[in-house]
Amino acid sequence: MKPRRAPQSGQISYNTSQQQLNEVVAIIKLDPSAHELLRHPLRELHVTLSVKMDNGSTKIFQGFRVQHNDSRGPNKGGIRFHPDETIDTVRALASWMTWKTAVMDIPLGGGKGGVICDPKAMSTGELERLSRAYVRQLGDFIGPEKDIPAPDVYTTPQIMAWIADEYSIMHGKNKFGVITGKPLSLGGSAGRTDATARGGIYCVRLAAATLGLNLEGAEAAIQGYGNVGSYAHKLAVELLGMKVIAISDSNGSIYNPEGFLYEGVMAHKKNTGSITGFPGAAAISNKELLELDVAVLFPAALDSVITETNAMDIKAKIIAELANGPTTPEADTILYKKGVYIIPDLLCNAGGVTVSYFEMVQNAYGNYWEEEEVQQRLEKKMKTAFLAVLRTGQNHKVHNRLAAYIVAVERVAEAMKLRGWY
């Protein structure tokens, strides 16, 4: 008999999203028709992209766009360029965007897109042609009143600019509101770059106050040092007074009990391409990083890194989920019983989509806010959402992830019912 092949990350994410929904449905006794509606995306588009490469050859790429549920407003969600992208990953993330926008109580639904490619092996010209080919294939499937994409894994403000330009060319007029995460000169929002990390830091401050935990000088570990993880480092020090003693990227993990300076690590990463080999740091394993005895652990990389196999060894007092789906349902139960305070991804990393919504509002009105105003508005939204999840968890006597799902599913179900969908 052949050994059983381990499920791909995308399949794990999709199964996790379904399992989480099922748990909530049982608690709130949701109508079976509404449950069935929420189990599946309302729409999916699969596209084949033909792109001229720099060497003169033509390469074929596969892409997707999934619109999970737009009962509360247009779909919203990022575009991922990744060699291991799968439709199941995109489906799961689109559903999570539905819940995330509902938890934040912003009038949007959930969407997600992706192209199977390796952007690190592509030139700037090839990435531009790929981006333009993708939006041409999406056509009228997206739009400011239908589905508004944004940056995600390995996509950038420059890629968003190309997409906005191509979409505008297709429609014969400027339609920059088709996408968010744009450069400021094309209608982007101040405060968007660090919004995901900043929203998470606001949540950590609220969680610490709830627990009576003093974060000044307390230790933190960050798994993943991309845009979100690196800004989490910067802001954890600046806003919370914490000391970041361990960080990781795709090449490895490093540790220093004296803490890392953000500026030094970023300079090293810019020069070498990785945080590994940083002077004065010890190399540790990813397992060791996750199991450090710290006040706050920031999973900011992949899904399903905290599971039933390592949950008992997690020592952090707070887990702030800046990644999507880093903790499995089985691990949730173990950690809840241990007294670990999880700030679930639906809430913790929702700062990005919230400021993306602010960008949509600013685009619509042609009136742009200063960065300080964006940050004040974001903090207010994060606090309101945090307290809603906290109260729901206390009322239902469930852990925070289930509480966040209850808030989200009830809001989406109410919108569907009012619209006569069930």
pLDDT band of residue 7 (cuts 50, 70, 90) is very low
Structure confidence at residue 6 (pLDDT): 37
| Helix or strand (DSSP H, E) at 341 | strand 341-343
% residues pLDDT > 90 (the chain): 92
Structure confidence at residue 12 (pLDDT): 53
Catalytic: which of 112, 234, 243, 317? Answer: 112
Q: How far, in Å, CA of 314 to CA of 297, rounded?
A: 9
For the chain, the first-to-last Cα distance in angstroms comes to 46
- Measured CA distances, 258 to 219, 224, 242, 387 (Å): 10, 20, 11, 34
Structure confidence at residue 325 (pLDDT): 86
Q: How far, in Å, CA of 309 to CA of 10, rounded?
A: 19
What average pLDDT score do residues 191-219 get? 97
pLDDT band of residue 19 (cuts 50, 70, 90) is confident
Order of strands across the sheet with 75-82?
43-52, 58-69, 109-116, 75-82, 147-151
Instruction: Confirm whether 112 is a catalytic residue.
Output: yes
pLDDT digits (tens, 9 = 90+) for 49-74: 999 999 999 999 999 999 999 999 99
pLDDT digits (tens, 9 = 90+) for 157-179: 999 999 999 999 999 999 999 99
Whether the pLDDT of residue 250 is over 60: the answer is yes
Torsion region of 69: left, alpha or beta (phi above 0 gives left; psi -120 to 50 gives alpha): beta
What average pLDDT score do residues 201-214 get? 98
Whether the pLDDT of residue 403 is over 80: the answer is yes
For residues 159 and 151, the answer to whether their CB atoms sit within 8 Å is: yes
Structure confidence at residue 8 (pLDDT): 44
Whether the pLDDT of residue 302 is over 60: the answer is yes
Single pTM value for the model: 0.92
pLDDT averaged over the chain? 95
pLDDT digits (tens, 9 = 90+) for 263-286: 999 999 999 999 999 999 999 999
For residues 107 and 356, the answer to whether their CB atoms sit within 8 Å is: no
* Domain 42-178, second-level architecture: 3-Layer(aba) Sandwich (3.40)
For residues 305 and 222, the answer to whether their CB atoms sit within 8 Å is: no
Residue listed under structure tokens 């220093």? 256
- CATH for 195-348, options being 3.40.50.150, 3.40.80.10, 1.10.3210.10, 3.40.50.720: 3.40.50.720
What average pLDDT score do residues 45-51 get? 98
- Measured CA distances, 421 to 33, 66, 238, 259 (Å): 9, 19, 47, 53
pLDDT band of residue 9 (cuts 50, 70, 90) is very low
% residues pLDDT > 70 (the chain): 97
Which residue ranges make up each domain of the chain? 42-178, 195-348
**42-178 matches 195-348 in fold:** yes
Structure confidence at residue 153 (pLDDT): 87
